[in-house]
Amino acid sequence: MKFIRNLTIGQYIYQDSIIHKLDPRVKILLSISLIITIFLVKSWSGFFIIGIYLFTNIFLAKVNPKFVLRGIKPLLMIIILTLLIHFFITPGEVIYRIWILNITLEGIQRGTFIAIRLFLLILSTSWLTLTTSPISLTDGIEKILSFLKIFKIPAHEIAMMMTIALRFIPTLMEETEKIIKAQIARGADFESGNFIKRIQNFLPIIIPLFINAFHRADELAIAMEARCYRGGEGRTHYRTLLINNTDYVFIIITMLVLVVSCVQGI
């Protein structure tokens, strides 16, 4: 239940901010560049610079940092598991022994480094979805993938599918929460029992969730056909994407941050 409430991926928060007004193409490409850089950075100082940059963007976007950090909770178990694995399997100077397992200084350093990397990756994707509406994401992805039309690949349809999938994550989570509450009201127990038993208890949730998902997909297809949707061929856009001076300034600042972050690890 807490996992569902804390999930922020795919949610959009409207604010009148500089970050929200940036061209979606700029935000998408810079987010991809940021993710690549996070994998390339090999120093603590590089992570510190990227972290300051991301939290500055969140502040400029006027989004509550607590809401952003709440999105980390559903993946906290993965981060903790990553820490523990590196604690015990990384060879080096042993600082503590638990039965036959050794905790090494190098393992703590390596595990913490990887955990911070995961934290920044989640933060960079949350920053994009929280400040970019689904319509803007669709337009931005379509423009970025427009070169695929040369190879007869439908860029508009690809962009729409990606955006619809992202948009329906909160909706499916809401449906899951309703189903869980309904099952609990009928006496279902999702907390007790071993791991296998808990997985079996979740079967009454998965089946109706899939049925609801297909039902919503069918309703969406009917609604699109009723509005004479025929793909991206010959379609015009209500909003024209234009890169202005603010976008260029943001690009320059971001590229400087990424370069400095990478240089710190050399």
Tens-digit pLDDT profile for residues 219-228: 888 888 887 7
Domain-wise residue ranges, the chain: 2-263
* Residue 142 confidence (pLDDT): 80
* Residue 1 confidence (pLDDT): 47
* Average pLDDT estimate for 79-99: 74
- Calculate the alpha carbon distances from 159 to 141, 215, 241, 250 in Å: 5, 22, 15, 24
Q: Is 234 left (phi over 0), alpha (psi -120 to 50) or beta?
A: left
54-58, 83-87, 108-112, 228-232, range with greatest mean pLDDT: 54-58
Torsion (CA) 2, 5, 9, 12 in degrees, nearest 10: -160
Name the amino acid, one letter, at 164: I
The CA-to-CA distance between both ends of the chain, in Å, stands at 44
As to burial, measured by CB atoms within 10 angstroms (0-12 exposed, 13-18 middle, 19+ buried), residue 208 is: middle
Where do the H-state alpha helices sit in the chain?
2-6, 18-21, 24-40, 44-60, 65-70, 76-89, 105-131, 134-144, 155-185, 195-201, 203-226, 245-263
Specify the higher pLDDT residue, 238 or 254. Answer: 254
Write out the two tokens for 117.
Answer: 């990397």
* Residue 248 confidence (pLDDT): 92
* Average pLDDT estimate for 24-53: 89
What's the rounded Cα separation, in Å, for the pair 24 and 241?
A: 8
Tens-digit pLDDT profile for residues 227-249: 777 666 666 666 677 788 989 99
DSSP 3-state of 152:
coil
